Amino acid sequence: MSSSNPPSTHRADSVFDTALCVDDLRDALSAHGITLPSLRVDLPSFAGTYRPPAGLVALGNCNAATARRLVAVLRDTGTAPSRPPLDVELPAVPQALQGLRRTVRRYLDVPCADVQLCVTELVTNVIRHVGEGSAVRVRVARTDGNRVRVEVTDSAEEALPVSLPSAPDDETGRGLALLDAVALRWSVEQGVEGKTVWCELAGAE
């Protein structure tokens, strides 16, 4: 009688340990916005189908030890993995602006009128002062501190943006003034193959 108790105890402990691991893993993934329907399995019956019941959880072939490592990694990072930046190359033409604004909105996946405004104004600045049809590279990315960084690069190193005074009824010339109004900061970086005008804005929620 006594000889049969240890395996039974081991089995119960393994199932209980599996349940704890999966609960911890589910919570850690949830903190990163990740939900896995496969974790809704009936754990006692699931674990009981394996010999020995070593704690396989319903996440592929992940065992309890791997589940603990996943939980530790997810909790140590503090934030969800960042997305790669949006990186688009296109000709600077007015017809491209609407599609570019939509692309930025889809990338950030939240309303982002100020970000769209900055992208529009920076590309429009290239159209006006570098030349319509000039090649531009637009990059948008979330950065540390819940900010969004916008970069617009063109090949004209010498054509630096200059903020000029404008009258109330002027229809043009307000781009950099708008940038000053909505961006936390902005600047220009010159390189061997052109320049990049960049700005940072409070992160869109």
- Find the CATH number of the domain harbouring 160: 3.30.565.10
93 and 58 within one domain: no
pLDDT at 91: 95
193 and 109 within one domain: yes
The Cα 36–Cα 175 span in angstroms is: 45
Q: Which residues contact 49 (CB under 8 A, 6 or more apart)?
A: none
Residue 166, pLDDT > 50, answer no
Highest averaged pLDDT of the listed ranges 24-28, 49-53, 89-93 = 89-93
Q: What distances in angstroms separate CA 142 from CA 187, 189, 197, one per listed residue?
A: 17, 19, 17
pLDDT at 56: 44
For Cα atoms 40, 41, 43, give the angle at the middle one, nearest 5 degrees: 120
48 and 98 within one domain: no
Q: How many domains does the chain have?
A: 2
197 vs 205, more confident: 197
The Cα 52–Cα 109 span in angstroms is: 46
Lowest mean pLDDT among 56-70, 75-89, 141-155: 56-70
Task: Using CA atoms of 67, 69, 70, 75 in order, give the dihedral in degrees to the nearest 10.
Answer: 130
Residue 202, pLDDT > 80, answer yes
The Cα 19–Cα 17 span in angstroms is: 5
Report, as an integer, the average pLDDT of 25-41. 61
Containing domain of residue 179, as a range? Answer: 86-202
Using the 3D structure, point to which of 77, 104, 121 is the last residue of a domain: 77
Whether the Cβ atoms of residue 163 and residue 113 lie closer than 8 Å to each other: no
72 vs 8, more confident: 72
Report, as an integer, the average pLDDT of 37-54. 48
Beta strand spans in the chain (E) = 86-91, 135-143, 147-154, 185-191, 194-202
92 and 22 within one domain: no
pLDDT at 169: 45
The Cα 69–Cα 75 span in angstroms is: 10
155 and 72 within one domain: no
